[in-house]
A and B are shown apart, each in its own frame.
Chain A
Amino acid sequence: MSLLEMRGITKRFHGVTALSDVNLTVNSGEIHAVVGENGAGKSTLMKVLSGVFPHGEYEGEIRFEGQERQFRGIHDSERTGIIIIHQELALVPMLSIAENIFLGNEPTVPGTFGSVIDWFAAHAKTRELLRKVGLKEQSGTLITDIGVGKQQLVEIAKALSKEVKLLILDEPTASLNETDSDALLALLLELKAHGIACILISHKLNEIAKVADAITVIRDGSTVRSFDCRNAAVGEDEVIQAMVGRKMEDRYPKRTPQIGETVFEIEDWRVHHPEHAERLVIKGVNLQARRGEIVGIAGLMGAGRTELAMSVFGRSYGRAISGRVRLHGREVDTSTVEKAIRHGIAYVTEDRKGHGLVLEDDIRRNITLANLAGVSSAAVIDEGREYAVATDYRGKLRIRCASVFQPVVNLSGGNQQKVVLAKWLFVEPEVLILDEPTRGIDVGAKFEIYGLMAELAAAGKCVVMISSEMPELLGMCDRIYVMNEGRFVAEFPGHEATQEKIMRSIVSAGTGARAAA
């Protein structure tokens, strides 16, 4: 029996059609994956379903539990049991888990006309909910004190407190490490066993393969294909093909690496935690990267990869930093970002929106920010030159936009990432450190970014790539370092590395034995 049927949904924004005649059917007790490139219309569809766009702002019909529903707002959809958990979590950091779960829905002491909160009941219920989602935390713990993975579980507990029938998760594992992701997926399966259906929006096809009963692919605002995964496993390539509308012969660009002399070296790098000064976060790391080489750094979330990169790049992380950075054998001073840039080091952050872009500013201003000297003379910006530079990168990187005067906030994730890359390419670095360069961007943009990395390496630059997605490390890198708990625990040539070897070196390092390369 179908729990949810969305039929012929069409949604327009100022004449632009975001969704056209989309159909989606979710059966009761199934996990239904919705996939598509960024900007395909997945989020818009979910906003229609959850009442963010109220009835009347779209065309088409929504039937839930056999009845036609006309939601006027998110309250209506929640009352019928449809609950959406957004990618950016909506928790209040300085309130406790219990306070967050019952925010706006607090149990009250009887006889007080719903004005006095019954904290005893709230905490008791919270404990029960936390047990259900498998989260071992006190109900009074503040949200800010727990990791993103656990916060995600709190969101699900909050949904359970509202008697959810259909749970919508938008990219729930985008910022989770593998362990947390697995725990979350296991929880979804358990909820399914209790009869709760789920719509899962994700870019991670391997995760979808693990849990989904059905897959709907959306491309350019229309449903292009539906797969039933219950009987036979659906091939990843088939899904990708449906998503991008073309065959993905090769997910990584072909390259013949021409590796030269050692250019970039980090020696005995040690970094202490910025707040807990006694804690050593990076424990003596040595890294070499050669001309024309793509070097990968693998590891779990929290292994210290971002901390390593940021501490090297102008001491942007940590304190009491020691060690040496060498370029072409000569020690260089990278103690401020400005100096690091001047020596030809660039760092593309993993946190595009938080650390990479000035969101309200336009594409042009974002591209030139790290190298204003390149478009100015005597501190006066030549707007014409700046425009020419920005337009040039827009073409080279195929940034999809109306013009370079468009604010980056309106771009899709993939195009935003290209703007960040353009900014750092304009610095003309010798060493480019990329931190999770393809996180949260669609397959097409991923391929373009891989191509760009290959081009840079071919042009004789050093590329250092930090990634949590092992397939892309294996597909792109000439050499892979494995990092765990602040140390490099293994090093593999690209052609010898496998996912198993990398995982094994992480796990065995954790138990004390250091894996040999």
Chain B
Amino acid sequence: MTESTGSFLKHNLREYGMLISLVVIMGFFQVMTDGTLLEPLNLTNLVLQNSYIVIMALGMLLVIVAGHIDLSVGSVVGFVGALAAVLMVEYGWHFVPATIACLLAGAAIGAAQGWFVAFFRIPSFIVTLAGMLVFRGLSLALLQGQSVGPFPSAFQLLSSGFIPDVLSGESLRTTSMLLGLGAAVALVAAKLRERANQARHHMDSEPMPFFIGKILVFVALIVAFSWKLASYKGLPNVLIVMALLMLLYDFVTTRTTIGRRVYALGGNEKAARLSGVKTQWLSFWTFVNMGVLAAVAGLVFAARLNTATPKAGLGFELDVIAACFIGGASASGGVGKVLGAVIGAFVMGVMNNGMSILGIGIDYQQVIKGLVLLAAVFVDVYNKRKS
């Protein structure tokens, strides 16, 4: 028993509402900037500029779904960048051990904050507000107020490198294009498998026309996107890192028992505990995870600037948290999707980028971003109340 395509669309509009908004916003800036927005060079920049926000949004989403918040991530980005600079530039470490040390430092920071939140029940807002001050201060101290750089060139490739083009192409990076096509094929295969599984258990699935339409749209988007990038320098390394993390976190949140438990924890902690969920440890691990991802973002950001500055990461926590809420996460926990947060991050990113191209000052950019955040959440709440 499948619904008609029309009524199905109506029911699921909310699900895809954010994606549609992103497309509309992109279309708007594409027109306003006379096509600059989607030029290969700019598209590449868009990915590079937003990668660290997207990476942190993945962790922040889990923290928010678990019913907490982490205000310290911007400072952690700064601190980890500073640590990386000190280790690689001042002490001359190879970038591999230095990277591992930075990731461990991120985990330790997350663990320290998570410890207070999970086991002593101090509100995460307060713990991470303290962390925000502490790690901003520590990055200043580490760098002694100076900018430190440049990084070894091997390390810079993390942010500024592109995947090597083994199959040489003159105007088109063939490897990148093939990777994009591969991703599209993988998506189709995964969706078909999911649908077969649904049918096997007699679950209602989407109406066939909608299913096919949706896949075609996504395949077209992936192919167009990789074609654009391939006609410039190819797929950036950091895009691969980001895409893999996205897939991993989407899988963990939607398909695994640990993901399911995080949602239950945020939805009703007492019920989760009485159902055998180790709620305290789970809260703790979401913070450790956030710390590691903030460290990854810190490394990406430092590599991109090719220098560590005491101000690095200032205010990032706000962009990351805004991305999650724009993407439909609930401030009271238990609700939110990884892909929503990613889309939220790109909504912010496209607006930053588009408004900069249009020459709108930083002052009004902030005003507009603030209003968009409020509007997104308002529409979400309004829809919920209406249904």
Q: Which residue of B lies closest to A357 (CB)?
A: B271
With a 10 A CB-CB cut-off, give which of B267, B272, B275, B278 has the most chain A CB atoms: B275
Q: Which of B258-266, B291-299, B316-324, B347-355 binds A?
A: B258-266
Question: Whole-angstrom distance between the alpha carbons of A354 and B271 in the complex?
Answer: 7
- A246 interfacial by beta-carbon distance below 8 Å: no
Question: Whole-angstrom distance between the alpha carbons of A403 and B2 in the complex?
Answer: 13
Q: Is the CB of B267 within 8 A of A385?
A: no
Question: Whole-angstrom distance between the alpha carbons of A354 and B257 in the complex?
Answer: 22
Q: Which residue of B lies closest to A361 (CB)?
A: B267
A388–chain B nearest beta-carbon distance, Å: 5
Q: Is the CB of A358 within 8 A of B334?
A: yes
- B191 interfacial by beta-carbon distance below 8 Å: no
B305–chain A nearest beta-carbon distance, Å: 38
Q: Which of A19-27, A226-234, A373-381 binds B?
A: A373-381
Question: Whole-angstrom distance between the alpha carbons of A373 and B276 in the complex?
Answer: 12
Partner of A313, one of B268, B270, B274: B274
Contacts of B203 in A (CB 8 A): 383-384, 387
Q: In the complex, which residues 326-352 of chain A have their Cβ closer than 8 Å to any Cβ of chain B?
A: 336-338, 340-341, 347, 349
Contacts of B257 in A (CB 8 A): 372-373, 376, 379-381
Contacts of A497 in B (CB 8 A): none
Q: Is the CB of A384 within 8 A of B260?
A: no
Contacts of B335 in A (CB 8 A): 360
Q: Is the CB of B272 within 8 A of A358?
A: yes
Question: Whole-angstrom distance between the alpha carbons of A82 and B268 in the complex?
Answer: 35
Contacts of A372 in B (CB 8 A): 257, 260-261
Contacts of A337 in B (CB 8 A): 273-277
Q: Is the CB of A361 within 8 A of B204?
A: no
Q: Which residue of B lies closest to A368 (CB)?
A: B260
Q: Is the CB of B274 within 8 A of A338?
A: no
Q: Is the CB of B261 within 8 A of A355?
A: no
- B356 interfacial by beta-carbon distance below 8 Å: no
Question: Whole-angstrom distance between the alpha carbons of A403 and B335 in the complex?
Answer: 20
Size of the chain A interface, CB-CB below 8 angstroms: 35
A344–chain B nearest beta-carbon distance, Å: 13
Contacts of B264 in A (CB 8 A): 358, 361, 365, 369
Partner of B271, one of A314, A338, A358, A388: A358
Question: Whole-angstrom distance between the alpha carbons of A376 and B251 in the complex?
Answer: 14
- B256 interfacial by beta-carbon distance below 8 Å: yes
Question: Whole-angstrom distance between the alpha carbons of A313 and B204 in the complex?
Answer: 38
Contact with A along B313-350 (1 / 0, CB 8 A): 00000000000000000000011000000000000000
Contacts of A373 in B (CB 8 A): 257
Q: Which of B29-37, B171-179, B194-202 binds A?
A: B194-202
Q: Is the CB of B268 within 8 A of A359?
A: yes
Q: In the complex, which residues 119-166 of chain B have their Cβ closer than 8 Å to any Cβ of chain A?
A: none
Q: Is the CB of B275 within 8 A of A384?
A: no
Q: Is the CB of A423 within 8 A of B275?
A: yes
Contacts of B197 in A (CB 8 A): 382-384
Q: Which residue of B lies closest to A385 (CB)?
A: B201
A378–chain B nearest beta-carbon distance, Å: 9
Q: Is the CB of B261 within 8 A of A360?
A: no
- B385 interfacial by beta-carbon distance below 8 Å: no
Partner of A384, one of B200, B204, B261, B270: B200
Q: Is the CB of B200 within 8 A of A354?
A: no
Contact with B along A51-67 (1 / 0, CB 8 A): 00000000000000000
Contacts of A316 in B (CB 8 A): 273-274
- A39 interfacial by beta-carbon distance below 8 Å: no
Question: Whole-angstrom distance between the alpha carbons of A341 and B278 in the complex?
Answer: 13
Question: Whole-angstrom distance between the alpha carbons of A360 and B336 in the complex?
Answer: 12
Question: Whole-angstrom distance between the alpha carbons of A316 and B274 in the complex?
Answer: 7
- B255 interfacial by beta-carbon distance below 8 Å: yes
Given A338-B278, A369-B260, A370-B276: A354 in contact with B270 (beta carbons within 8 A): yes
Contact with B along A118-151 (1 / 0, CB 8 A): 0000000000000000000000000000000000
Given A380-B255, A381-B256, A381-B257: A369 in contact with B201 (beta carbons within 8 A): no
With a 10 A CB-CB cut-off, give which of A349, A380, A384 has the most chain B CB atoms: A384
- A451 interfacial by beta-carbon distance below 8 Å: no
Contacts of B277 in A (CB 8 A): 337, 369
- A253 interfacial by beta-carbon distance below 8 Å: no
Given A358-B268, A365-B260: A338 in contact with B201 (beta carbons within 8 A): no
Q: Is the CB of A338 within 8 A of B276?
A: yes
Contact with B along A297-331 (1 / 0, CB 8 A): 00000000000000001101000000000000000
Q: In the complex, which residues 383-417 of chain A have their Cβ closer than 8 Å to any Cβ of chain B?
A: 383-385, 387-388, 403
Question: Whole-angstrom distance between the alpha carbons of A137 and B79 in the complex?
Answer: 56
Question: Whole-angstrom distance between the alpha carbons of A340 and B275 in the complex?
Answer: 10
A323–chain B nearest beta-carbon distance, Å: 20
Contacts of A381 in B (CB 8 A): 255-257, 260
Contacts of A341 in B (CB 8 A): 276
Contact with A along B100-123 (1 / 0, CB 8 A): 000000000000000000000000
Q: Is the CB of B201 within 8 A of A388?
A: yes
Q: Which residue of B lies closest to A389 (CB)?
A: B201
A398–chain B nearest beta-carbon distance, Å: 19
A402–chain B nearest beta-carbon distance, Å: 11
Question: Whole-angstrom distance between the alpha carbons of A161 and B101 in the complex?
Answer: 67
B23–chain A nearest beta-carbon distance, Å: 27
- A356 interfacial by beta-carbon distance below 8 Å: yes
Q: Is the CB of A361 within 8 A of B263?
A: yes
Contacts of A383 in B (CB 8 A): 197-198, 203, 255
Q: Which residue of B lies closest to A388 (CB)?
A: B201
Question: Whole-angstrom distance between the alpha carbons of A379 and B258 in the complex?
Answer: 7
B108–chain A nearest beta-carbon distance, Å: 25
Contacts of A356 in B (CB 8 A): 271, 274
Partner of A360, one of B204, B255, B267: B267
Partner of B274, one of A347, A361, A365: A347
Q: Is the CB of A349 within 8 A of B274?
A: yes
Question: Whole-angstrom distance between the alpha carbons of A314 and B267 in the complex?
Answer: 21
Question: Whole-angstrom distance between the alpha carbons of A365 and B335 in the complex?
Answer: 13
Q: Is the CB of A355 within 8 A of B271?
A: yes
B26–chain A nearest beta-carbon distance, Å: 31
Contacts of A338 in B (CB 8 A): 276, 278
Given A354-B270, A360-B334: A387 in contact with B201 (beta carbons within 8 A): yes
Question: Whole-angstrom distance between the alpha carbons of A468 and B264 in the complex?
Answer: 30
Q: Is the CB of A384 within 8 A of B274?
A: no
Contacts of B272 in A (CB 8 A): 358, 369
A118–chain B nearest beta-carbon distance, Å: 36
Contacts of B270 in A (CB 8 A): 354-355
Given A380-B255, A384-B203: A357 in contact with B268 (beta carbons within 8 A): yes
Q: Is the CB of A403 within 8 A of B204?
A: yes
Contacts A361-B264, A384-B198 known; 9 new A-B pairs at CB < 8 A: A313-B274, A336-B276, A338-B278, A358-B263, A369-B272, A381-B255, A383-B203, A387-B201, A423-B275
* A-B complex: 5 closest residue pairs judged by Cβ atoms: A384-B201, A358-B267, A370-B275, A372-B257, A338-B276
Q: List 20 A-B contacts (CB under 8 A).
A: A336-B276, A337-B273, A337-B275, A337-B276, A338-B276, A349-B274, A354-B270, A357-B271, A358-B334, A359-B267, A361-B264, A369-B264, A369-B271, A370-B275, A370-B276, A372-B257, A373-B257, A383-B198, A384-B198, A385-B201
